[in-house]
Structure 1
Amino acid sequence: MLAVTAGACADDRREPLVVLGPWTGDEGEAFETMLRRLDDGAGRTYTYQGTRSLRETLVAQLEADAPPDVAILNSVGELTEYARAGRLQPLTPAATARAYPPWAPALDVDGARRTYWVPLKVDLKSLVWSVRGRPAASPRWCVGLASQATSGWPGTDWVEDILLHQAGPDVYTEWATGRLSWRDRRVRAAWTTWAALLGDRSRASLDQSLTTPYVGTPDPAKGGGPRGLLYSLTPRCTHEHQSAFIRYVYAGDPVDVRPSAGFLRGRAAHDGAYEVAGDMAAVFGDDPAARTLVERLSGARARTLWRAEAKRELRPFFPAATDPQPTDPTGRRIAGILTGRARTLCFDASDVMPPGLRDAFHRAVLQYFRDPAPRRLDELLGQLDTVREDAAEDTGPGRPPSSGVCAPPGG
């Protein structure tokens, strides 16, 4: 009996915990190596599954009643839905202590207030990249709206960022959580400001932007890797609005990065606010070891290992100033804003919204980019308001709280 029991325990130790996440290629390899090194040999082993079709993969696994033990998602709206549906396990106290706002608000679910996810990797979004030495006075904007997963999000980032800077964190929060109409004049002004910034565009330019990936076209000099929009589009553009992650595309290129509020001079009353995004880990399996794994993934050792394994230009940003941060000049500057210079951080609004409304927002941006006529905008905002109202009937008390969307830099 002792031999059988010992054998069963050994089998249990060998059964790996599965982590499903969004990183592939070099990013996926760095995370997987960190995960492998995080295993101390005393308990369970870990295996990583990386995919660019994260939502579709997770939904399929849930429908097959075979969820991963841990999944890493960037959408607070999706995570909120899973928590309300009873799919998520609340975190351990140690992991909860690292659930810094605005990345991980506590939720009221079934009469209890708990934390269900914790940020592993974060990004700063309110940034403009440019060819070094190009003045900010008259930018020619690069736009690439195509994405393998969901096209249109580079445009929603623009609308969100403009609304945050023009109307402030309070209005932004009310809108992101479905408490403000899309037909509100301040929301409408964000769309029209975006169109005015981009200026008149030819049909060829519109088509090029709608079909060009957000990372630009392949560059033979980089082994087929992306060359970035600043070097991809014809005629040459000078400035690009994009999140901090794009720095890996421009590694070695002469580019500058500046806060986006400076490009709304005369319109931006809230230049201390920045939009952010994140990749959050949540426990889907009922194995207690999965909760322990998330606790370890959000800890100092995991972050130190991850930074050591990642290529210099792919070293992740973490939410607290005490965390290890990138060491390249661009990375250090961005980390300084993220963990110190910013007065307020607001989570990506479309990723706060329920998935159905987020997807409708992406589609509406593509339609508006092609046809920015005032009457067309009124139609699109009316349609989005209908989706918002329908979503509000389903979310109830489980939707993200207003107090959790924007917050000072934490940790």
Structure 2
Amino acid sequence: MRRPTAPLLRCALILGLLLASVSCGGPEHSKVTIMVPWSGTEFRAFYAVVRDFERGHPGIDVEPQVTRALTQQLDAAVGADAEPDLAVLPSVGAITKYRTEGALRELEVDTRAYAEPFRTLGTHDGAVYAVPVKADLKSLIWYDARSTEPPSPGRPGRYRWCLGLESGPTSGWPGADWIADLVLADAGVDTYTDWASGDARWAEGPVRDAWTAWGHTVGAALKGATARNFRQAAGSKDARGCALSHGSLSAMPFSSARVRDGQYTYVPSSRDALQVSADFVGKFTGNEGADAFLTYLASTKAQRIWVNEPGFAVSADRRVTQYDNAVQGRIAGILRSPDFTLCFSAADAMDPDVSAAFYRAVLDYANGREPGPLLAALDRVQQQLGYPSPTSAPAPLCSTPEPR
């Protein structure tokens, strides 16, 4: 009996030709991975920007990798040579670390429209290594306008503070932001910059004074704060009777309607200098699709979409001036105003290991530990893990926006 080798072979050849023609004729897709820390409305706002990019770039698929432990996961990925194409870098210290290690790649992205200090902090020797895709103003005191009188900067009056310090792997950061605000307001820009850059001691002078002042300011709110989630505690007039919250709008649990109708509003926590922060994005691979997506993220079009989605994002792009939410727009206006000096978040400017120790000390202090030994330990951590040389230190942390 004759075996049907020839017909089967012809069928296989025809099928192979058909598949080859489909492959050659169809569009080539590339995938871009990006590691992000956002969830809830913050992630949905970001993903609206992703969808708009993919509509305009049908050959590129963006795959977000969401993690709350971004610093730890990115460290592990870089150490294992398994980096994502792009990643959010939540601190200037992280930018400095990965740039000096050679992990971050130089970017061909125009950031000249971005306000200071955001633009310069992502550069080194004139080269761009990270783009500030999302900005925040931390030095704000929030209150319910229906039941609370406007507090004065440094004088909250008779009202109690809402305070939560629990935030997963970065628990303690709300207290670190508050302490930094006090150093900035009470000791000034130069002292703040020296401390954030590792050139001032923790255990003496203005920094130690700020820890003591924070404890006196929040008082009874410290009790149980390490177990309270920061977002659930903020702005909640609960059985504890708290009425004031400290921090950026994106950290508050308010709905757009509650902010838009003036129910919750703010005053700056200082009349002169304010603390800001940003989420930067850097590139770790040679993926050309990642270049296209990052260029888009930095564009005015993408930034305008982002800020008008839920999540209360603010842009450092000075051309983004139209905000659907008026409160959000006024906060963005402060980032462009020459009336304030803007200083980047101290904890975010530090080496990531130093900022992690800072957060841990905040939790210990809230749990009743005396500040002296905690701050002496932070001095030792700073000495061992701080910036090893002037060439690796971050760019100037404070600047005053120029009038346009």
TM range (shorter): 0.7 to 0.9
**Residue 287 (str. 1) matches residue 301 (str. 2):** no
**Residue 20 (str. 1) matches residue 17 (str. 2):** no
Superposed counterparts of 1:1-400, under 5 Å: 13-39=28-54, 40-41=56-57, 43-92=59-108, 94-98=109-113, 100-105=115-120, 113-132=126-145, 133-135=147-149, 136=151, 137-199=157-219, 201=220, 206-216=222-232, 228-231=233-236, 233-253=238-258, 254-261=263-270, 271-308=271-308, 310-311=309-310, 314-340=311-337, 342-371=339-368, 376-392=370-386, 394=388, 396-400=390-394
Deviation digits for residues 242-297 of structure 1, max 9, x if unmatched?
21213452544422211112xxxxxxxxx221101111111111223423321221
1:338 maps to a residue whose letter is: L
CA contact (8 A) 2:89 2:95 kept: yes
Q: Which moved more, 1:233-242 or 1:79-88?
A: 233-242
Q: What is the deviation of 1:32?
A: 1.7
The 3-state SS of whatever aligns with 2:212 is helix
For 2:123 and 2:225, locate their aligned partners in 1 and report how far apart those are by CA, in whole Å: 42
Deviation digits for residues 307-326 of structure 1, max 9, x if unmatched?
45x23xx2420013321453
For 1:8 and 1:355, locate their aligned partners in 2 and report how far apart those are by CA, in whole Å: 47
Q: What is the deviation of 1:25?
A: 2.3
Q: What is the deviation of 1:75?
A: 1.0
1:363 maps to a residue whose letter is: R
Question: Which runs of 5 or more residues in structure 1 are unaligned?
Answer: 217-227, 262-270
| Pairs aligned (count) | 374
Q: What is the deviation of 1:122?
A: 0.3
CA contact (8 A) 1:99 1:115 kept: no
**Residue 407 (str. 1) matches residue 399 (str. 2):** yes
CA contact (8 A) 1:315 1:325 kept: no
CA contact (8 A) 1:119 1:279 kept: yes
For 1:108 and 1:329, locate their aligned partners in 2 and report how far apart those are by CA, in whole Å: 32
For 2:393 and 2:118, locate their aligned partners in 1 and report how far apart those are by CA, in whole Å: 14
1:194 maps to a residue whose letter is: W
1:41 maps to a residue whose letter is: H
The 3-state SS of whatever aligns with 1:26 is helix
Deviation digits for residues 348-369 of structure 1, max 9, x if unmatched?
1001101111011111112222
CA contact (8 A) 1:325 1:335 kept: no
Q: What is the deviation of 1:43?
A: 4.7
For 1:382 and 1:9, locate their aligned partners in 2 and report how far apart those are by CA, in whole Å: 66
Q: 1:342 to 1:91 in 2, by over 3 A?
A: farther
Match of 1:264 in 2: none
CA contact (8 A) 1:118 1:281 kept: yes
For 1:292 and 1:26, locate their aligned partners in 2 and report how far apart those are by CA, in whole Å: 25
Match of 2:12 in 1: none
Greater gyration radius: 2
Q: 1:8 to 1:381 in 2, by over 3 A?
A: farther
Q: What is the deviation of 1:394?
A: 3.5
1:27 maps to a residue whose letter is: E
1:85 maps to a residue whose letter is: E
CA contact (8 A) 2:354 2:386 kept: no
1:330 maps to a residue whose letter is: V
For 1:248 and 1:325, locate their aligned partners in 2 and report how far apart those are by CA, in whole Å: 23
For 1:9 and 1:103, locate their aligned partners in 2 and report how far apart those are by CA, in whole Å: 44
Q: Percent identity?
A: 31
Deviation digits for residues 166-214 of structure 1, max 9, x if unmatched?
1111111111011111134111111111122123x3xxx6442221100
The 3-state SS of whatever aligns with 1:16 is strand
Question: Which runs of 5 or more residues in structure 2 are unaligned?
Answer: 1-18, 152-156
CA contact (8 A) 2:90 2:280 kept: yes
Q: What is the deviation of 1:303?
A: 1.5
